Amino acid sequence: MQIITGKTQLFGVIGHPVSHSLSPVMHNAVLRHLQLDYAYAAFPIAPENLKMAIAGLGMSGVQGLNVTIPHKQSVMSCLSSISTVAQQVGAVNTLTMGAKGWEGTNTDVEGFMAPLLKLNRDWAQVNPVILGNGGAARAVVVACYQLGCPEIVVVGRNFDKLAQFQQSWGDRRIKERLNTLPWEALPALIPQATLLVNTTPIGMAPHPHQSPVSEALMAQVTPTVIAYDLIYTPRPTQFLKLAKRHGLKTIDGLEMLVQQGAASLKIWLKQEDIPVKIMRQALIDYFGQS
């Protein structure tokens, strides 16, 4: 058991609500493992208090913060600097206290890419099809762009939101590679897709038996395809069960969750080697208990 003393330093996560956040579980596990005198806490901050609260947390000596819904965009106006990747995504999930105040970046992109980079693929030949056009899809688009995928297709169910998504990119190079299509285009896209990413909540509780891709469509996917679901509970989702049944390589959302957290810690601790295994196991153990 870690002893919190007067010297213990603090990291944390801000959100509203934030009590469901898994970040304290995995971060405290790895900080304990590294025997560092840090603790990680969750701060529920209502949107109207955001500016005052993060200024106060900074003045109280908090060294680093993760940012979750609904603050990922609104926090951007409270920062002294914003990294290129966070500007590309249009959202910040990691704050670090710098000389001039909070500096913002986005580690969701690195978190999403980490398990893909372990696979031996020629990304210039990979055609990603991303299901859903919400917040998480933005980080996935930037990651696919960074990997070098030549055309990135995003499929959504709401025409207006999809058009807005297409127009929303400040970086022209990303916009040029992006193609947004209605959900109905999926059957025609599936046979050509080589990376299939679910960024919708389809398959989460209370509907764990649903999949964004039907069994019949999954049967048309070539076996070299990677199926990646951002959902981390249940594990595996119905989408990944179907993908596995058809011989596809599968990646679940737990890996992205752990890797984006590890990427934040790398920045805060100025240390490349983060024992990701400890973070992953802490979450698996936690899911087993809850």
Closest of 112, 93, 77, 286 to residue 199, by C-alpha: 112
Say how many CA atoms lie within 13 Å of 64 toward its Cβ: 23
- The yes or no reply on residue 23 touching ligand NAP (CB under 6 A) is no
- Of 199, 211, 237, 250, the one binding ligand NAP (CB under 6 A) is 199
Q: Which residues pair with 284 in a beta bridge?
A: none
Closest of 145, 143, 141, 57 to residue 107, by C-alpha: 143
- Of 15, 104, 132, 236, the one binding ligand NAP (CB under 6 A) is 132
What track of x and - describes contact with ligand NAP for positions 36 through 65 (by CB under 6 A)? ------------------------------
- The C-alpha atoms of residue 12 and residue 19 are separated, in whole angstroms, by 12
Q: Which helix (H) or strand (E) segment is 152 a member of?
A: strand 152-156
101-120: contacts with ligand NAP (CB under 6 A): 111
Say which of 51, 72, 241, 249 is annotated catalytic. 72
Could you confirm whether 270 is annotated as catalytic? no
Q: Which helix (H) or strand (E) segment is 245 a member of?
A: helix 238-245
Contact 66, 37 (CB under 8 A): no
- The yes or no reply on residue 239 touching ligand NAP (CB under 6 A) is no
- The yes or no reply on residue 257 touching ligand NAP (CB under 6 A) is yes
User: Considering the complex, what minimum distance in angstroms separates the CB of residue 21 from ligand NAP?
Assistant: 11
In order of 23, 54, 73, 101, 124, the CA distances from 47 in angstroms are: 20, 11, 11, 20, 41
- The yes or no reply on residue 260 touching ligand NAP (CB under 6 A) is yes
User: Considering the complex, what minimum distance in angstroms separates the CB of residue 83 from ligand NAP?
Assistant: 18
Nearer to ligand NAP, 85 or 256 (CB): 256
Report the catalytic residues. 72
Binding site for ligand NAP (CB under 6 A): 111, 132-137, 156-158, 161, 199-202, 204, 230-232, 253, 256-257, 260
